[in-house]
Every structure is written in C-alpha cells, then in structure tokens.
C-alpha cells in the first residue's frame, strides 16, 4: 500500500528538487506545511506523507509506530537506555519502514526528480523515521528535528567512500519529550558508523523555532542544486 501525501505548493510544474517532511506521533500530513512555507527554496516541491497507522488517542492523528503513554497526560513515554538510546523495532515500525522506503524510491518516477536532489526531514517520531530510512537511500541529505535513533544498534559501519547521506540533527536543550542526551547519543551512534552528522542544539523545547528553520534552510541550500 502506497502512502497518501499532500504537496506544497500544489501547482508547481516540473520541480527541480524535492523536500519530504515526516510528521510526528499523533499529527498528520498537514502538520508541517507551515514549515515548508517558511523555507525559501526555488523550484522545490515539498511532500508530506501520512504515516500508515491511526493514532489511538488523537482524532485524525497518525503514527509510524505505537508508543506507550502516561495514563494521565497521554504523553508518550519512551524507554531510554542508560546511554540515552532506545530500542524500537515492532511490526508497526517494520511495516512503516518498508512502506516509506518503497514510497521514497517511487518519487523519482512520479516527479522526475532523482533521489540525489531529494531531502528527507522529520519531526520527533518522523525524525526517527528519517534517520532510520534515509541515510542509505542515496538522498541529498537527512534532517532530524527533535528526533532520535530508535534502534539499540547503530547502522553498519561504512567506509569513507560509502558514508551515506549527510545528516543534520536539530534539538531543543529543554525538550521534555526527547531528552537532549538521547538525541546526542543518537548522533554519536551515527557518527561512529561513519555517517557525517552535524548536531545543533537551541534553547527551545519539543518544537521547531525560527533559528532551527534558518539552519534547515542553510543545510538545504548546501545540499540541493538550486537553479533560479
């Protein structure tokens, strides 16, 4: 089953670059459209897929995989290990991983834009999915905002000529959902496997503020061949 998605701008003809944004747990494909409106990338088509599964608590919300919640607040509770990492690999994640990978690989045929001119970004659980799926697809780059590496083991080690897509990780110093130490541990796991990771932290919570948006813009401009 292919993922449903929306685009921004809707009437862009013959895009030269693609920017895919993955929403977080309990949101849906509408959630990050305002982020795209704040990025100024000429001839770039933004795509927002819906996660495959309905969220158990949020009406119209979706999820890439289920998370346990606090019974009082319904906020997600993620079982972090001592080093700040976690281990999540259930049937929901396996299906989401497969469907997202298949959909991303189909974009070149659908849009005419190669993966080398495609950026993959995500927020929170979407950031975790971007890291999981994106580093080995031959993409222009991967951005994880308030995200984490959701496996207990890092990607396989790679040589200097096979590093995979470079990664930008942006995180809030006071993030109450994904602790800063967990995001930093995720970045270290990726770096140890040979992936190029730029880890940036800002004085914010579980969100994407203006400074983070500007850093995303800079990363996109450095990775995409932008033709004006």
Q: Where are the domains of the chain?
A: 5-223
> What is the enclosing helix (H) or strand (E) of 93?
helix 91-111
> What was the pLDDT predicted at 12?
82
Check pLDDT > 60 for residue 194: yes
> What was the pLDDT predicted at 35?
92
> What was the pLDDT predicted at 142?
98
Residue 105 in tokens: 């690989």
> What was the pLDDT predicted at 53?
95
197-220: pLDDT as tens digits: 999 999 999 999 999 999 999 999
> What was the pLDDT predicted at 67?
81
> What was the pLDDT predicted at 11?
78
225: pLDDT confidence band, cut at 50, 70 and 90?
A: confident
136-185: pLDDT as tens digits: 899 999 999 999 998 767 777 665 556 679 999 999 999 999 999 999 99
51-92: pLDDT as tens digits: 999 998 889 999 999 886 655 555 556 655 445 555 565 788
Give the residue from 22, 217, 213, 2 showing the smallest Cα distance to 122.
22
Question: CB under 8 Å to 110, separation ≥6 — which residues?
Answer: none
> What was the pLDDT predicted at 150?
85
Q: SS3 for 191?
A: helix
93-143: pLDDT as tens digits: 889 999 999 999 999 999 999 999 999 999 999 999 999 999 989 999 999
> What was the pLDDT predicted at 228?
44
Average pLDDT over residues 19-32: 96
Q: How far apart are CA 81 and CA 15, in angstroms?
A: 42
> What was the pLDDT predicted at 92?
86
- Domain 5-223 belongs in CATH node 3.40.50.1820: yes
Give me the percent of the chain exceeding a pLDDT of 90.
Answer: 66
Q: Are strands 167-172 and 141-145 parallel, antiparallel or unpaired?
A: parallel
């Amino acid at each position: 089953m292919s993922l449903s998605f929306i685009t921004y701008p809707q009437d862009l003809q013959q895009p030269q670059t693609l920017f895919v944004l993955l929403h977080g747990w309990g949101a849906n494909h509408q959630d990050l459209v305002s982020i795209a409106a704040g990025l100024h990338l000429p001839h770039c088509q933004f795509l927002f897929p819906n996660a495959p599964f309905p969220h158990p608590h949020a009406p119209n919300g979706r999820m890439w995989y289920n998370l346990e919640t606090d019974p009082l607040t319904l906020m997600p509770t993620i079982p972090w290990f001592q080093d700040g990492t976690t281990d999540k690999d259930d049937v929901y994640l396996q299906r989401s991983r497969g469907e997202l990978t298949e959909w991303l690989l189909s974009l070149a045929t659908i849009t005419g834009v190669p993966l080398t001119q495609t950026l993959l970004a995500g927020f929170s659980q979407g950031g975790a999915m971007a890291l999981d799926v994106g580093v080995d697809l031959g993409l222009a780059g991967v951005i994880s905002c308030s995200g984490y590496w959701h496996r207990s083991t890092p990607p396989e080690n790679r040589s200097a000529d096979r590093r995979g897509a470079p990664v930008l990780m942006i995180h809030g110093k006071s993030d109450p959902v994904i602790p800063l130490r967990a995001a930093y541990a995720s970045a270290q796991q990726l770096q140890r496997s040979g992936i190029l990771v730029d880890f940036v932290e800002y004085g914010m919570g579980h969100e994407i503020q203006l400074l983070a948006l500007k850093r995303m813009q800079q990363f996109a401009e450095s990775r995409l061949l932008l033709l004006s």
